[in-house]
Chains A and B, each alone.
Chain A
Amino acid sequence: MKKFMKSEELARDDRFTRTAVPLDFLMAEEVTVEQVEETMMTLLGNEDVRKMMEEQGGGGGAPNVFRRVRPEEDDAPVFIKTQMHGIFMGEMQALEAAGRSAWDFTDDDQLPWQFQLDMARQCWDETRHVEIYSALLDHVDCRIGEFAENLFLFEFGCSDDPAERVVGVNRCLEGLALDVFNDTIRFGQAADDDAIWRSVDYVSADEVTHVRFGQVWSKALTEGDPERRKKVVSFQRKVDRAFSLGGLRGSYDGANTAAFLPLAVEFRKLAGFSDEDIAEVAGAGPKVTGRK
């Protein structure tokens, strides 16, 4: 069976819509708010979302995608659909990335067997998550393909060094998932929607474990090899910057209750993040200029 698949080779049936949005702002050291907004609107590829964001932005306020939406607001149904669809696609890519991690390095005789076991466990978890979010899509009356899929999450998990692979997939992709889940749980609780918040809460327990795999293995595989460790940390900083989504995410959970997608501090600490690790992720974004 083939190893090291390209992102374009990931299997999707004709229900899915894939978009080739460059997302070049992800790695930039400086971005403008307008640049990020325009890209995100194109990325979502949905006319309802575009209209909603333009209405929000046109009034001089922050566009919907960059602020926390509350269940009582008119935008809430579209918001929760975009959120659930984004998570569903993220789970698909996380499953594919974990599957690759389990299989791509089977001929690495220096990699402990436990690494493959951990990646295999993650695959098992992710398959359940895909099923759960598929059901939650039905719950919020959203269909697969209603919003476009972009493969950038997977693309940051393609390294052929297993230490960098777990940084991209586990520490960063799954770490971002924890932040999204934290936001979604809060939305579900505020909406008094048990199906949403309890389901996402259960899934979060697995995600904490997956992020911990990233923390543990990225350090274990570089122990005693400062050069490799330096390279892995450098890669980690890049991915942290990319997943700051143009630096427009709120920093810490609780610091700004109106902010879009703040870091889930409690979840991340459960996953083995120190205060320094969290501060590093919070400070990883680019310099943001323009309207905010």
Chain B
Amino acid sequence: MARSFTRRHGAPFVIIDGCIECGICERVCPYDAIFMSDELEFVVDGEKCPSCNRCLDPCPVGTIIPMDDQRAAQIRPSNRPFVFDGWQESVASDKLSAHQGGRK
């Protein structure tokens, strides 16, 4: 079924430098949004992440960051292909808010 409503209003997460690849985030995510990429680094798929926060507390090194946080600019190269449409690492958090709800 084709879906036409605006799916994304919040900010999904990305993984930034410093991740130790422990994999706990992948295990706790109910939405299959975190997986190991071809570069053998864990990444968050912005299409699937509903920003539920389930992965934040288990992460022992605090490297899972909402995309509307300034620290998201430190996103790992491996995670870049999986951010949702319209987001660029150079986009400041105030500009990002203009994109929220923009993806159809």
Residues on A lying within 8 angstroms of B by beta carbon are 2-8, 20-24, 26-28, 104-105, 107-111, 151-152, 154-156, 158-160, 168, 224-225, 228, 234-235, 238-239, 242
B47-68 with Cβ < 8 A to chain A: 50-54, 56-58, 66
Asked whether, in the complex, the Cβ of B54 is within 8 Å of the Cβ of A152, the reply is yes
Asked whether, in the complex, the Cβ of B9 is within 8 Å of the Cβ of A22, the reply is no
CB < 8 Å neighbour of A109 from B4, B9, B57, B66: B4
Chain B residues in 8 Å Cβ range of A107: 5-6
- Contact flag A110-B1 (CB < 8 Å), given A6-B53, A20-B57: yes
CB < 8 Å neighbour of A22 from B29, B32, B58: B58
Of chain A, the residue at the smallest CB distance from B26 is A27
Asked whether, in the complex, the Cβ of B52 is within 8 Å of the Cβ of A5, the reply is no
Instruction: Report the bound CA distance from A104 to B66 in whole Å.
Output: 20
Asked whether, in the complex, the Cβ of A110 is within 8 Å of the Cβ of B4, the reply is yes
Instruction: Report the bound CA distance from A60 to B49 in whole Å.
Output: 42
Asked whether, in the complex, the Cβ of B8 is within 8 Å of the Cβ of A160, the reply is yes
Instruction: Report the bound CA distance from A239 to B53 in whole Å.
Output: 15
Asked whether, in the complex, the Cβ of A108 is within 8 Å of the Cβ of B1, the reply is no
Asked whether, in the complex, the Cβ of A21 is within 8 Å of the Cβ of B50, the reply is no
B1-24 with Cβ < 8 A to chain A: 1, 3-10, 24
A-B contact pairs, 8 of them (CB 8 A): A2-B9, A3-B9, A4-B8, A6-B10, A23-B57, A104-B9, A110-B5, A160-B7
Asked whether, in the complex, the Cβ of B28 is within 8 Å of the Cβ of A5, the reply is no
Instruction: Report the bound CA distance from A143 to B20 in whole Å.
Output: 41
Chain A residues in 8 Å Cβ range of B95: none
Asked whether, in the complex, the Cβ of B27 is within 8 Å of the Cβ of A28, the reply is yes
Residues on B lying within 8 angstroms of A by beta carbon are 1, 3-10, 24, 27-32, 50-54, 56-58, 66, 101
Query: Number of residue pairs across A and B with beta carbons under 8 Å?
Result: 81
Instruction: Report the bound CA distance from A8 to B56 in whole Å.
Output: 11
Of B1, B7, B30, B58, the most chain A CB neighbours within 10 A belong to B30
Shortest distance between the CB of B93 and any CB in chain A (Å):
15
Shortest distance between the CB of A173 and any CB in chain B (Å):
12
Instruction: Report the bound CA distance from A3 to B54 in whole Å.
Output: 18
Instruction: Report the bound CA distance from A105 to B5 in whole Å.
Output: 7
Instruction: Report the bound CA distance from A151 to B51 in whole Å.
Output: 13
Chain B residues in 8 Å Cβ range of A8: 53
Chain A residues in 8 Å Cβ range of B32: 234
Chain B residues in 8 Å Cβ range of A228: 1
Asked whether, in the complex, the Cβ of B50 is within 8 Å of the Cβ of A26, the reply is no
CB < 8 Å neighbour of A27 from B10, B27, B51, B53: B27
Asked whether, in the complex, the Cβ of B51 is within 8 Å of the Cβ of A6, the reply is yes
Asked whether, in the complex, the Cβ of A26 is within 8 Å of the Cβ of B3, the reply is no
Chain B residues in 8 Å Cβ range of A160: 7-8, 50
Of chain A, the residue at the smallest CB distance from B1 is A225
Instruction: Report the bound CA distance from A151 to B58 in whole Å.
Output: 13
Shortest distance between the CB of B90 and any CB in chain A (Å):
24
- Contact flag A108-B3 (CB < 8 Å), given A4-B50, A22-B28, A158-B52: yes
CB < 8 Å neighbour of A156 from B3, B52, B58, B66: B52
Asked whether, in the complex, the Cβ of B101 is within 8 Å of the Cβ of A22, the reply is no
- Contact flag A6-B4 (CB < 8 Å), given A22-B28, A235-B31: no
Instruction: Report the bound CA distance from A27 to B53 in whole Å.
Output: 15
Instruction: Report the bound CA distance from A196 to B39 in whole Å.
Output: 56
